[in-house]
Structure 1
Amino acid sequence: MSPTTTVRSTGDFRADRRYEYARAAFDEGDFEAAADLARQVIELAPDFAPAQAMLGRSAAELGLRDEAVNALRQALALEPGDALGVRLDLAKLGALAPDEAITDGYVRALFDDYAPKFDRHLTKSLAYRGPELIADALRRACSKRIRDYRFGLTLDLGCGTGLMAQELAGCCDTIEGVDLSPRMLEKAEKTKLYNALHEGELGAFLSGRRTSEADLVVAADVFVYMAALDAAFREAHRVLKREGLFAFTVQAHEGEGFVLGEDARYAHSELYLRRLADDTGFATVIVERVSTREDRGVPVPGLLVVLQR
């Protein structure tokens, strides 16, 4: 999944046509042709960032690291917001720190492109079931803590099209969602399940909330686009009422800390999450190994976590 499907123009018909040929060649695995065509586009339109990105990715496939890094850096200089996601390519080439690979601009562009087919692709092609697993874990957590499976104000981080709200329908007095992608929020609005929807980054959203106002904070398959989770944990703890719950899923890896995977998503270790929960002041209610989705038919290792304030 890459945010490069949107049709863009150089303003020069010849360059646009060569760029489309370059994309087709790249998709067919003809990286030499893709690189050559991308160079031709750059001659005609040197400030066209997608062509620089195409050259960088093609050169990387050909083992031409120096040319790849240079072209990718050119693309990033032309579009610092990185809607093209070239930071990920630079990180894979060792030219950028892994924790700097994913930006808000990349995630916004990614999901704006993804929005029209999001639900169908996730639930059918990827067998996604993160919200379902979180809802089930919350039922069990409430049973463990001898409390009703009922919540006051609920904050849905990275709410997407509203799949989490659908699982929690009827269980929350008020639910508000936040997402970087306006097109995803348009889909969420159509569910009629949210009392309010906010466009923005989840950390900034949480920091703007009142202390001890929420009963539940959920984040389904969201932290895979974040490296360090310290600030998110800290703010979630602050906005939750006493005994409020924080439930989320992550992709998992063995070892410590977090890593950037080949699938351009971050994976976090159980040790890292437990240590972070302890440091923040959360009590651990549930930590389970799960898989929220598949990749080419193979379950992706993950963790399901429920913490209590």
Structure 2
Amino acid sequence: MTIPLTVIEREAVAATPVRPVSVPVPPPARPTRRRRAQSSRDEPALQTANLSAILTLAVDLHERGQLEPARQLYRRILRADPALVDALQMLGLLHHGRGEHRRGLRLLRRAAELAPTRPSILSQLGECYRSLQRFDHAITCFERVVKLTPDDPDAHCNLGHAHLQAGAFAEAARCYRRVLEADLDDLEALTCLAVAASRLGDDNAAAACYRQVLAADPDNSTAQHLLAAITGETTRRAPAGYVRELYDQYAGSFDAHLVETLRYDVPDLLRRVVDEEVPASTRFARAADLGCGTGLAGVAIRDRVDHLTGIDLSSGMLRRAADRGIYDELIEGELVGTLGRATTPFDLLLATDVLIYLGALEDVFAAAATSLRPGGWLGFSTERARSGAPVLQSNGRYAHPEIYIRSTAAGSGLDVVRIEHITVRIEQGRKVRGQIFLLRRPTEVLAS
């Protein structure tokens, strides 16, 4: 029986550095070296010169980021020749790159049926399955690529990613070791081997991998953070670059993974707490969703807010949030600095599943207190710690004890109005215990 990755580890896999490809797709499977070396022999000729010219134009537009004109040209080609593999592949890749994974899947499956031995198609199909959390199908695709290109370390690395996200850690480790046989300094494989080793109970091997990564790349924020997590060091916060990168890569499958896989409903639980403490007749003139992600909390609170601002480090997440059409303003930035630059006070601040990346909260609460009007509210979720201080857990997330939240809130002049004990998510079949806090800035300060 395999055990699934924790969400932070799954995110870490998605956030590892990937090698660039010629079309803008996040995060791509590595292009196989056989395809890079033999592309002219690997690709079948198009049926007519006219279609060939149109396809060349479409690919050029695609590579320059002009996705809608490229899409229209691919569709025009496929109307003329529905079995043209190159157009099927590229249109599927375009949809996958836009986060439309099911559309991409249909096209890439058809391309794979017509060209079952083309490694690039199988790799892209596997990546589509991986984005849809269908890891068994992804593994099958990547195994076929490995059989076609057994000496290509990139193929083994892609297979390792699928095994790792499926929770098959021993199989993943074998794949990454095969990659490292070809290149001892492959930082992507080293980082993922560290995750696999840690989940197999070998934290010493994991730490050795992270240290090897940091020796080659001292600024690697993923390795910094996860090394601290497995060695018991509690840092003040996860590096901003780490959070930004992992959520940029995670954006396409974020909602499905949280809601369907982890049974995540914190935004709705926080909305219920707000409704129970703040009369329904009260509307919030200005609210900010801190670490808004794709907008799950914004959806939950929108009908009680006149003007809603979303703030996030990840541009990928902000694009998903914009697609919802619920925010009046979206800001890419770190929450403390962004709140500090606010010129108009807020009536409500929300932060769901955000403080798990922040250990020390003094700066956060101080910024919140300053940016709230008197009588304004701050609602947020945390994971629950049994210690008396914040702790960086081995899974890479911070947990906070109630006593610390109370004292830090008081130090910033915020009153704790409500604490609700909740289950944050279901992970590895176990409930992750957490808390919802509702704080308020007093309406007036009493003279001493």
TM-score category, normalised to shorter length: 0.7 to 0.9
Q: 1:102 to 1:10 in 2, by over 3 A?
A: farther
Q: 1:290 to 1:58 in 2, by over 3 A?
A: closer
Q: Which residue in 2 is equivalent to 1:237?
A: 369
Q: Which structure would you say has the larger Rg?
A: 2
Residues 380, 437 of structure 2: 8 Å contact kept: yes
Q: Which residue in 2 is equivalent to 1:135?
A: 271
C-alpha separation between the residues in 1 aligned to 2:398 and 2:290? Answer: 17
Q: 1:23 to 1:155 in 2, by over 3 A?
A: closer
1:308 aligns with 2:440: yes
Q: Which residue in 2 is equivalent to 1:257?
A: 389
C-alpha separation between the residues in 2 aligned to 1:41 and 1:19? Answer: 11
* More strand by percentage: 1
* More helix by percentage: 2
Q: 1:196 to 1:81 in 2, by over 3 A?
A: farther
Letter in 2 for 1:103: P
More off after superposition, 273-282 vs 51-60 = 51-60
Q: 1:58 to 1:77 in 2, by over 3 A?
A: same
2:183 equivalent among 39, 42, 45 = 42
Residues 32, 155 of structure 2: 8 Å contact kept: no
Shift, 1:39, TM fit:
3.1
More off after superposition, 234-243 vs 14-23 = 14-23
C-alpha separation between the residues in 2 aligned to 1:22 and 1:294? Answer: 25
Shift, 1:282, TM fit:
0.6
Q: Which residue in 1 is equivalent to 2:240?
A: 104
1:157 aligns with 2:286: no
Residues 238, 358 of structure 2: 8 Å contact kept: yes
1:176 equivalent among 309, 314, 319 = 309
Cα deviation code 1:192-232 (max 9, x no counterpart) = 1111101122122112223x611111101111111111111
C-alpha separation between the residues in 2 aligned to 1:23 and 1:202? Answer: 31
1:3 equivalent among 12, 17, 20 = 12
Shift, 1:41, TM fit:
3.3
Q: 1:75 to 1:101 in 2, by over 3 A?
A: farther
Shift, 1:104, TM fit:
1.7
Shift, 1:20, TM fit:
4.0
Q: Determine helix, strand or coil for the equivalent of 1:264.
A: coil
Shift, 1:15, TM fit:
3.9
C-alpha separation between the residues in 2 aligned to 1:305 and 1:28? Answer: 36
Q: Which residue in 2 is equivalent to 1:124?
A: 260
Residues 229, 396 of structure 2: 8 Å contact kept: no
C-alpha separation between the residues in 2 aligned to 1:208 and 1:196? Answer: 14
Cα deviation code 1:44-71 (max 9, x no counterpart) = xx3x321332454466557483x64343
Q: Which runs of 5+ in 2 are unaligned?
A: 1-9, 15-26, 35-151, 442-448
C-alpha separation between the residues in 2 aligned to 1:298 and 1:267? Answer: 16
Cα deviation code 1:150-206 (max 9, x no counterpart) = 101111100011111111122111110111221111111011111110112212211
Q: Which residue in 1 is equivalent to 2:226?
A: 89
Q: 1:15 to 1:187 in 2, by over 3 A?
A: same
Residues 11, 247 of structure 2: 8 Å contact kept: no
Divergent runs of 4+, >6 A? 10-13
Q: CA RMSD in A?
A: 2.8
C-alpha separation between the residues in 2 aligned to 1:3 and 1:304? Answer: 26
Q: 1:100 to 1:21 in 2, by over 3 A?
A: farther
Q: Determine helix, strand or coil for the equivalent of 1:170.
A: helix
Residues 388, 404 of structure 2: 8 Å contact kept: yes
Residues 131, 167 of structure 1: 8 Å contact kept: yes
1:283 aligns with 2:415: yes
Q: Determine helix, strand or coil for the equivalent of 1:217.
A: strand
Shift, 1:239, TM fit:
0.4
Residues 38, 52 of structure 1: 8 Å contact kept: no
Residues 176, 189 of structure 2: 8 Å contact kept: no
Q: How many residues align?
A: 299
Residues 34, 54 of structure 1: 8 Å contact kept: no
**TM-score normalised by length of structure 2:** 0.60
Q: Determine helix, strand or coil for the equivalent of 1:197.
A: strand
